[in-house]
Amino acid sequence: MAALSSVFCNVYQHCTFMARMTGQRVQPILAGGLAWICLFEFVPELEMQSVYSETENEEGPSPEKKIKTKNGTPSKKTKVVNQEKEHSKDEKVEQISRKKKKTNYGTPDKKKEGRAAQKNDQSNKEEASCKDKKKTKNVAAEETDEEVERYPIIFNRCSPKQLIRALKKLSRKQKDKLREVGFEGILNLQVDGIPQRLGYFVAHNFDETRMEIKAPCGNIKVDASSLSKLLGFANSGCSLLHVEPNKPLNPRILKWRLNYKNEYIAPIEIVKNIICNGEDDSFDFVLNFLVLFITTMVECHSHGKCKLDILELLTHDTNLKNINWCTYILSRIKVCKSGWAGTSTSAFRGALTILTLLYVDSVTLASMNVDHQIPAITFWDFERLKERENIEIHSGSFGKGKYVGMSAVGCNVKKKSVVVAGQKSMENLSMEVHS
């Protein structure tokens, strides 16, 4: 109402002023009527002003329509509102640009910084370890380059690693079954690998014709008697050399073979089968262990898979304890060098572990203490064989020790306080207490 009254007064004064200037007398009523007519003409504009003013107070000024004064310029209020709006828009644009910069090029928050720092630390450690490995590899390569001609290395396919893995997982029930069928001596095996230079010397100097390992200090005989003392098998019983092979396989043997679907069986598959069936002491378990022993200690294929020729000589009622395993293993050692070119890339697939144990047990070194009151299969492990290799290399060559022959203690003889790599064999001690 205040706005309407001010407009009415302004119009009335304007009408009377115009009448006086023209010299005409205009009645006050006429001037009042003209004032009311002008007032009604300005009412729509005043209503729009009131509407826009309300919306400006609630939502800010309208972007499409601006309130202007009589001169056509924006009022002070509209200028302030427009400035605030532009300022808010600028702030929003700056916030959006900051977000984009953060996601693309900006620095991460504290958590991301911590994660990034951890990743950097890990990458730095990995780089440092890789550098250390490269250094050790380079040193090893330099040593190999210097000594490769004098002390070559061997590529051994017939490794006892998987056999040792299975022996450590056998249950007492399974061990009792192996003792029952005559494999008690193998339970004491400790060596899970052969040092490459020592292994090459033994394989290279093995004469398969005369069946002996040649050494400067004396030749070492490889016969059934030495195998019996080393492995604990009886040097008597039925010889498999005169058994006619079964082709096809015996139905019970074939049933076992169907447990493995592949044409060639890997030793690790047999180990998994033994471990998964920890309480199984059936005929299948005995065949599993027999094939694993032949593959890792006697002979295997050039690709390291199991050789199954032994299965053709067995039936479901074969008494394994009455078999002369010494003569069978000896027959396979005679052909162990067939197919071996004598190089570091040619695979040796014969009884290298047995030959190496025969050598280190028959030749002693003054600089290394060996307890010959302990069976060789129990005393020697990879660490001691590696120590033996290093000593012989530093002495100038292999085979310069003293030939003493096989130790007097057989594999099946039990001694008190048997020490294997710094640990007592609790199983042997407990058996002695009960006996």
pLDDT-derived band at 86, boundaries 50, 70, 90: low
The tokens describing 96, both together, are: 């959006």
Spatial contact of 213 and 261, defined as CB atoms under 8 Å apart = no
**What is the pLDDT, as a whole number, of residue 19?**
59
Q: Is the pLDDT of residue 103 over 80?
A: no
**What is the pLDDT, as a whole number, of residue 433?**
34
Amino acid identity of residue 266, one-letter, is A
Quote the CA–CA distance of 377 and 217 in Å, as a whole number: 22
- Cα–Cα distances in angstroms (integers) from residue 226 to residues 182, 184, 222, 359, 418, in the given order: 17, 17, 6, 11, 22
Helix 267-276 to helix 161-169 angle (10° resolution) is 0
What number of residues does the chain have?
435
pLDDT-derived band at 344, boundaries 50, 70, 90: confident
Spatial contact of 230 and 186, defined as CB atoms under 8 Å apart = no
Convert the chain into a string of H (helix), E (strand) and C (coil): CHHHHHHHHHHHHHHHHHHHHHCCCCCHHHHHHHHHHHHHHHHHHHHHHHHHHHHHHHHCCCCCCCCECCCCCECHHHHHHHHHHHHHHHHHHHHHHHHHHHHHCCCCCHHHHHHHHHHHHHHHHHHHHHHHHHHHHHHHHHHHHHHCCCCCCCEECCCCHHHHHHHHHCCHHHHHHHHHCCCCHHHHCCCCCCCHHHHHHHHHCEECCCCEECCCCCCEECCHHHHHHHHCCCCCCECHHHCCCCCCCCHHHHHHHCCCCCCCCCHHHHHHHHHHCCCCCCHHHHHHHHHHHHHHHHCCCCCCCCCCHHHHHCCCCCCHHHECHHHHHHHHHCCCCCCCCCCCCCEECCCHHHHHHHHHHHEECCCCCCCCCCCHHHHCCHHHHHHHHHHHHHHCCCCCCEECCCCCCCCCCCCCCCEECCEECHHHHHHHHHC
**What is the pLDDT, as a whole number, of residue 136?**
44
Spatial contact of 385 and 194, defined as CB atoms under 8 Å apart = yes
Radius of gyration (C-alpha) of the chain in whole angstroms: 50
β-pair type (206-207, 423-424) = unpaired
Number of other CB atoms surrounding residue 408 within 10 Å: 10
pLDDT digits (tens, 9 = 90+) for 272-316: 999 999 889 999 999 999 999 999 999 999 999 999 999 999 998
Amino acid identity of residue 422, one-letter, is G
pLDDT digits (tens, 9 = 90+) for 12-47: 676 666 656 555 555 555 555 555 555 555 454 444
The tokens describing 198, both together, are: 């020592």
The tokens describing 275, both together, are: 């471990």
Amino acid identity of residue 358, one-letter, is L
pLDDT-derived band at 428, boundaries 50, 70, 90: very low
Q: Is the pLDDT of residue 153 over 70?
A: yes
pLDDT digits (tens, 9 = 90+) for 228-249: 999 999 999 999 998 999 989 9
Quote the CA–CA distance of 234 and 298 in Å, as a whole number: 17
pLDDT-derived band at 127, boundaries 50, 70, 90: low
Mean pLDDT for the stretch of residues 390-410: 86
**What is the CA angle 44-45-51, rounded to 5?**
90
Quote the CA–CA distance of 339 and 336 in Å, as a whole number: 8
Q: Is the pLDDT of residue 213 over 70?
A: yes
